[in-house]
């Protein structure tokens, strides 16, 4: 399919997190707290406590940034321990939030909120994507743990309803079929009748959600985008999430990415391909540069697909390494490059040569 999907994944942490690097955490607030956010009183646990900002993990898995100096925050310390909401509690909270036009379909790992009477295809898609993700990662030695929260997917009746919700959450994106947002820990998409067309995008976003909920990525530090988006792209083809098939490698190929690579980086543009890999190892700028975005996603796919298929040990090592970095710390260019070379065992130039050879073999 040649259509150009606009890519935008909301994986960056709350913008305020970056200040943590330059500010001393006061640690004044700890343990279970009550606070007001999104118009209601909630409970959660502070992850970082600064004079002007506390980052809180809510019982529903949301990450909130609250200002303890504002009276409307209604901050209060409570006795007792932090406990994530149970699936039953979360389900009734979702019912209250979305009202009687929606139903909440529960599966083993998900609570899927959808307009009434839309059957079970969404629940099946999410559940199959997640199980396929866990199997794929486990097989390659990536550390996968049981998530702490039931995963929530919201299926809006149409794109307008979805964009209304984005507006409420101050999410500024357009022309997407769905997103995963790190702050809400939700996948949001819409059901306007082109299920097979949006399925690839939904599998991409669902892979982000699975990764952040199983500890394959950390929600509290910044993972290089070639890794997070490479994972998203990896899971777009249905064959990647289908555990029961003895699928051939060619079925796991992300055709859209491969087509983009072949037209953007023909043989005579080898130097540009090398440069893209070199740039993406140490920074995320290519993903923010509109004319380069499609290339960025495609090169990220090539890098992760090569590792997953040809060097699964290093594939696991780079994921396990980035997932366990210290939370709330910046990940500088030199450190990213040094980590890459140490974990993968070669420099960008050698890596790029191998990826190119692998792509030629597909
Ligand atoms: Zn993505």
244 and 343 housed in the same domain: yes
| Structural domain boundaries, residue 50 | 15-77
Instruction: Write the CA distances from 84 to 65, 194, 199, 245, 287, integer angstroms.
Output: 18, 35, 30, 36, 34
Alpha helices in 152-292 (DSSP H): 159-168, 195-213, 225-234, 238-241, 249-252, 255-264, 270-282, 285-288
Instruction: Tell me, rounded to whole angstroms, the distance of Cα 20 from its chain centroid.
Output: 22
Same domain flag for 104 and 136: yes
> Which among 213, 233, 261 is the end of a domain?
213
* CA–CA gap between residue 334 and residue 347 (Å, rounded): 13
The answer to whether residue 1 sits within a structural domain is no
- Say if 128 falls within a structural domain: yes
Distance between Cα 73 and ligand 1 center (Å):
32
| pLDDT, block means (10 residues), the chain with 362 residues | 45 47 56 90 89 89 90 91 93 96 96 95 95 95 92 95 92 86 93 81 95 94 95 94 72 95 96 97 94 96 97 98 91 97 97 97 93
Tell me phi and psi for residue 233, to 5 degrees: -65, -35
Give the span between the Cα atoms of 32 and 91, in whole angstroms. Answer: 22
Number of domains comprising the chain: 3
Ligand 1 centroid to 205 CA: how many Å? 6
In a domain, 220, yes or no: no
Farthest-apart Cα atoms in the chain, separation: 66
CA distance 235 to 27: 40
Q: What is the DSSP string of 6-26?
A: PP--B-S--GGGGGGGGS---
* CA atoms of 267 and 262, how far apart (whole Å): 9
Report the separation in Å between the CA atom of 7 and the middle of ligand 1, taken as the mean of its atom positions.
Answer: 7
CB-based contacts of 110, cutoff 8 Å, min separation 6: 123, 126, 127, 130, 150, 151, 152, 153
User: Does residue 3 lie within any of the structural domains?
Assistant: no
The whole-number pLDDT of residue 203 equals: 94
CA-nearest of 123, 113, 117 to 184 is 113
Report d(CA 64, CA 61) in Å as an integer: 9
CATH assignment at residue 104:
3.40.30.160
Instruction: Please state, as a whole number, how many other Cβ atoms lie within 10 Å of the Cβ of residue 265.
Output: 21
Look at residue 287 and give its three-state secondary structure: helix
Based on the fold, state whether residues 115 and 158 are members of the same structural domain: yes
Same domain, 52 and 138: no
Statement to judge: residues 72 and 107 lie in one domain: no
Q: Which residues pair with 189 in a beta bridge?
A: 155, 178
How many angstroms separate the alpha carbon of residue 228 from the centre of ligand 1?
7
CA of 28 to the centre of ligand 1 (A): 36
Res 27: pLDDT = 52
Contact 78, 33 (CB under 8 A): yes
For residue 295, how far is its CA from the centre of ligand 1 (angstroms)? 14
Going from the Cα of 204 to the center of ligand 1, the distance in angstroms, rounded, reads: 6
Q: Buried b vs exposed e over 211-250: b needs ≥16 C-beta within 10 Å? A: bbbbbbbbbbbbbbbbbbbbbbbbbbbbebbbeeeeeeee
Inside any domain, residue 181: yes
- Tell me how far the alpha carbon of residue 350 lies from the centroid of ligand 1, in angstroms: 27
Ligand 1 centre to CA of 359 (Å) is: 21
Same domain, 234 and 282: yes
CA of 303 to the centre of ligand 1 (A): 15
Specify whether 198 is located in the same domain as 293: no
Look at the alpha carbons of 278, 280, 281, 285 in this order and tell me if their dihedral is positive or negative: positive
Cα of 334 to ligand 1 centre, how many Å? 24
Using the 3D structure, point to which of 160, 191, 213 is the last residue of a domain.
Answer: 213
Query: Does residue 4 form part of some domain?
Result: no
pLDDT of residue 60: 92
């Amino acid at each position: 399919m040649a259509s150009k999907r606009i890519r935008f994944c909301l994986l960056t942490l709350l913008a305020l997190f970056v200040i943590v690097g330059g500010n001393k955490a006061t640690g004044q607030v700890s343990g279970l707290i009550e606070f007001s956010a999104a118009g209601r009183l909630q409970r959660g646990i502070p992850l970082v406590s600064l004079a002007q900002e506390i980052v809180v993990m809510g019982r529903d898995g949301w990450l909130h940034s609250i200002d303890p100096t504002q009276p409307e925050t209604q901050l209060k310390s409570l006795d007792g321990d932090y406990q994530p909401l149970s699936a039953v509690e979360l389900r009734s909270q979702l019912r209250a939030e979305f009202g009687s036009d929606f139903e909440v379909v529960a599966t083993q790992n998900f609570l899927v909120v959808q307009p009434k009477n839309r059957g079970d295809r969404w629940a099946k898609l999410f559940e199959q994507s997640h199980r396929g993700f866990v199997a794929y990662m486990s097989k390659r030695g990536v550390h996968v743990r049981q998530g702490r929260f039931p995963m929530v997917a919201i299926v809006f009746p149409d794109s307008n309803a979805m964009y209304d919700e984005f507006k409420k959450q101050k999410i500024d994106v357009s022309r997407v079929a769905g997103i995963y947002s790190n702050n809400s820990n939700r996948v949001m998409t819409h059901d306007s009748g082109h299920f097979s067309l949006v399925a690839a995008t939904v599998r991409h976003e669902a892979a982000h959600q699975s990764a952040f909920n199983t500890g394959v990525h950390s929600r509290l530090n910044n993972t290089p985008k070639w890794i997070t988006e490479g994972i998203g792209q990896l899971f777009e083809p249905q064959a990647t999430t289908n555990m029961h098939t003895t699928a051939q490698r060619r079925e796991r190929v992300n055709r859209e990415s491969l087509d983009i690579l072949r037209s953007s980086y023909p043989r005579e543009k080898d130097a540009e391909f090398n440069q893209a890999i070199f740039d993406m190892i140490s920074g995320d700028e290519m993903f923010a540069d509109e004319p380069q975005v499609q290339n960025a996603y495609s090169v990220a796919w090539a890098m992760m697909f090569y590792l997953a298929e040809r060097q699964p040990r290093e594939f696991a090592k780079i994921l396990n390494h980035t997932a366990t970095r210290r939370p709330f710390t910046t990940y500088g260019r030199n450190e990213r490059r040094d980590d890459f070379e140490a974990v993968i065992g070669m420099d960008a130039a050698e890596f790029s040569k191998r990826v190119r050879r692998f792509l030629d073999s597909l």
